Structure 1
Amino acid sequence: MTPPVTSPTEQTKPEKQRKMVQLRFVLWPIAIIVAAIVLLGVMGALAPKPEKKPFTVKAPLVEVQDITSSDVQFVIASQGSVLPRTETVIVSEVSGQVVSVSDKFIAGGFFKKGEQLLSINDIDYQVALLQAKARLHVAEAALMEEKARVEQAKEEWGLTGKSLSDAPALALRKPQLQKAKADLEAAQADVQAAQIKLERTKIVAPYDAMLKTKHLDIGQFVGVGGQIATTFAVDYAEIRLPVKFQDIDFLSLPKINNTDALQGSRVDLHIDVLGQQQTWQAQLARYEGVVDMNSRVHYVVAQVDDPYNLFSENRPYELRVGTFVNGDIYGKTVTDITAIPRAAVRGANSVHLVTSKNTLDVREIDILRGDANYVYTRDKFAPDERLILTKLELPVNGMDLRVVNDQSPTGIEQDSAQTDVNNNVSVNGETND
């Protein structure tokens, strides 16, 4: 059976209907979006605009201080270790066994000058002294005998009838007499030497000293030149203080042959004891006059009396040998100097100033010297200029400023409540939606 034949017009009609349905689903969302945009635009155009309120940019609030010049005595900071003015290794000049030692013959023991540290067996030296005295007595007797023979020789020469001046030396026994006198002097010297050696068996302190190290003890044998102990003097101590080259000109240093010019130059020594700073007053004793080849620094030596408080009790603590101390050396006094807090220096050598019109003046200064707290300059400042202590975040030369506890200039609003000095650039104002 032959299928019915359909015309081309009847075939395309359902396809058109399907395309129209798909286009409707696409156009409706687009139309809705366009309508919403138009509606929002109309509503935005008809809505009232927010009222504009002016805002005020306030000038940075700064803290200042007056600038004054005065006479400044420079203090040079240094540090060093406490050293004994004299340290001695005591050696024996005789040999023998140590037979007794002092109860204070220990590290840290204190001895007065001439006080005995220990003794060496002296029996051999006592015998030597007795022998020397015996030889002395023999020499004395020989001299007496020779003097008698000289007198006898003179009498015998007188029997010849000739003058004594014509007598030969041998006839009057002059050489024999001279030899007897020399033998006596030698015997006296032997006695003195034996006495000295006997005394040297008693080892005594050469000065007021503290025992640092002992090298032997009772019962040990010591030879000539053997080390006995190491001591150091306690009447005063020394501190070798390095001074940088740039600080030398601020000290009154004399020539190396004129140490008296340093006497009285004050040095304060500081250490921390039990959380509190203790201070000892010292004075410069000398200037070494040599530049260290490695560190390129100069050295001065300070002297502090009685560091162990042995001769007085003026201080509660001892300044022990070996202690590391900080020292403040008082140097020259320079007139008409301005001291600027180091915290107020910006960069290498700039400061911020407030002019008479409360504007910022950024100025470079010539720094004469600086320390941990201040820099010093000879530059001159106007009487109405003040130093800014507050750090500005965006400093611009000539910008307006507000000064704490100061009336503002014309056109600049003064914040009566000091809220935050460190908030240097503040924008105060609001915008309402």
Structure 2
Amino acid sequence: MKTKILPLIIITAAFLIAGLMSLLKPDALALESPNREVAVTTKVIDKSQIQLKVKSQGTVQPRTRTMLVSEVSGIVMTVAPQFVVGGTFNKGDVLIKLDSADYKVAKQRADAQLNSAKAQLLSEQARSSQAQKEWEMTGRPLAEAPVLALRTPFLAEAESRLLQAQAEVRQAELKLKRTVIRAPYAGMVSSKQVDVGQYVTIGTRLGETFAIDFAEIRLPMTGKDLLKLGWNTDPENQQALTKNKVQLQGMVNGKTATWQAELVRSEGTIEQSSRAQYLVAQISDPYNIERRADRMPLLIGSFVQALVLGKTINDVYPLPRNALRPNNRVATVDGDQRLKLVAVDYLFEDRSNYYINKGLQGEVEIVTSGMGIMVNGMKLKPFNSENPVKLP
């Protein structure tokens, strides 16, 4: 009997103890409700006039590159001091001279043949004139005279020999002139392949040069980039493209340098691998031959960054990229310092900003800092990033 009652007694005692503990527990401390304002960083933006800019890059290349080859055969007699890799020269400078002795002899031989042909022509003209007079003495019309009687074929042959002799002289002069290799333009030597004493034949490569009056940079562009520049395939529009200025930036001897260039043309094709179109920027006097104090030389082969000035757009808001929320919304601060989400649309974008053309009106204070859950009307505590609060 006692065994059956004991568990009931234990259960009853446990309920009593639990009830007493519940009645005797202390009251919960009332905590003050936290501040519900959300601290955010803001920035005030307004409509602006923006000149779009496009960034690109490329390698500096010569506008004109030439492989010098020999047009005659002979031994290299002299090489100009400036005909070395890196040497500069002006248009018309003598770079290489070949042995011209054989060509001078050929020229004398051609002159002699020319004099002989002239003499033969004079002799045949005299004979033809005498034959004509003799025929006239017969009293018959000159039109009835046989061509052999008037020596007409012999006169024509003498005239042809004169023309041939003149051509031989001209050819001899050309070959003699070609023993002197002159610079076709002002430029620089990029490779040298012959030297004094070497025998060269027709077609032998002597060296490679490039012009230094202008240099070019091929700039890859996407479709969006071309839209910012206001470019299309119309020929008239491509002429207007040349007004776009380009700022180049690169390294010279470990220092950053800048140069001014301009767009001159489009290559008119799309590269298969990258699907990019190439515009060509041109810079004058890349090696600073004019010795301008405010300019560093831009060497061929240098890699440069390019900033191309595009078209100007009006009445757009420059919105920092981190301020555009999902679904093309912007978090703004209203007059009561509450959150207002506004749907917007942008016209262009770059690496720093979206340029908003729809959705915003007047001067707007936008939230630029990150936020978790955003609910219209939530209380904000804005801190303007342009005028930060100084902590004590």
- TM-score category of the 2 structures, normalised to the smaller one: 0.7 to 0.9
Structure 2 CA distance for aligned equivalents of residues 223 and 260 of structure 1: 45
Equivalent of residue 266 in structure 1, options 229, 239, 245: 245
| AA in 2 matched with 1:231 | T
2:86 aligns with 108
Is 1:379 the counterpart of 2:370? The answer is: no
- Partners of 2:384 and 2:48 lie apart in 1 by 26
SS at match of 1:260: helix
Where structure 2 has 5 or more consecutive residues not aligned to the other structure, the ranges are: 1-13
Q: CA deviation at 1:250?
A: 2.0
Q: Distance in 2 between matches of 1:417 and 1:92?
A: 76
Matches within 5 A, 1:40-119: 52=30, 54-119=32-97
Would the aligned equivalents of 1:355 and 1:384 in 2 still touch at CA under 8 Å?
Answer: no
Decide which structure has the larger Cα Rg and report it. Answer: 1
Q: Which residue type is aligned with residue 85 of structure 2?
A: A
- Whole-Å Cα distance in 1 between the matches of residues 167 and 24 of structure 2? 132
Give matches, 1:142-181, under 5 Å. 142-181=120-159
Post-superposition offset of 1:295: 0.6
TM-score (norm 1): 0.79
Given that 2:121 and 2:155 are in contact with CA atoms closer than 8 Å, whether structure 1 keeps it comes out as: yes
Name the structure 2 match of 1:366. Answer: 345
Match for residue 205 of structure 2?
227
Which one has a larger percent strand, Structure 1 or Structure 2? 2
Distance 1:56 1:334, change over 3 A: same
Mapped partners of 2:327, 2:337: distance in 1: 24
The separation in 2 between residues aligned to 1:348 and 1:270, in whole angstroms, is 37
| C-alpha separation in 1, matches of 2:42 and 2:254 | 34
Q: Note if contact 1:237-1:307 (Cα within 8 Å) is conserved in structure 2.
A: yes
Using the alignment, how far apart are the partners of 2:121 and 2:157 within structure 1? 9
User: Displacement, 1:221?
Assistant: 1.1
Aligned to 1:216: 194
> Which residue matches 1:345?
324
Counterpart residue number, 1:403: 382
Secondary structure, counterpart of 1:358 in structure 2: coil
**Higher mean C-alpha displacement, 231-240 vs 350-359:** 350-359
Describe how 1:182-261 pairs up with structure 2 within 5 A: 182-253=160-231, 255=233, 257-258=235-236, 260-261=239-240
User: Is the CA contact 1:256–1:288 (under 8 Å) kept in the aligned structure 2?
Assistant: no
Q: Residues 180, 314 of structure 1: CA spacing in aligned structure 2 closer, same or farther, 3 A cutoff?
A: farther
Shift of residue 132 of structure 1?
0.7
- Summarize the Cα distance change of 1:109–1:348 in structure 2 as closer, same or farther, 3 Å threshold: farther
Q: Which SS does the other structure have where 2:313 is aligned?
A: strand
CA distance in 2, matches of 1:278, 1:226: 40
Higher deviation after alignment, 253-262 or 381-390: 253-262
Deviation per CA, 1:152-201: give whole Å up to 9, x if none.
11121121112333323222212211211111111111111111111101
Instruction: Indicate if the aligned counterparts of 2:46 and 2:364 stay in contact, CA closer than 8 A.
Output: no
Q: Indicate the residue corresponding to 2:4 in structure 1.
A: none
Determine if the alignment matches structure 1 residue 127 to structure 2 residue 105: yes
Kept in 2: contact 1:81–1:322 (CA 8 A): yes
1:83 Cα shift? 0.6
Distance 2:25 2:59 in 1: 87
Matched with 2:269 is 290
Distance 2:390 2:30 in 1: 28
SS of aligned partner of 1:181: helix
Residue 288 of structure 1 contacts residue 301 of structure 1 at CA under 8 Å; is this kept in 2?
yes
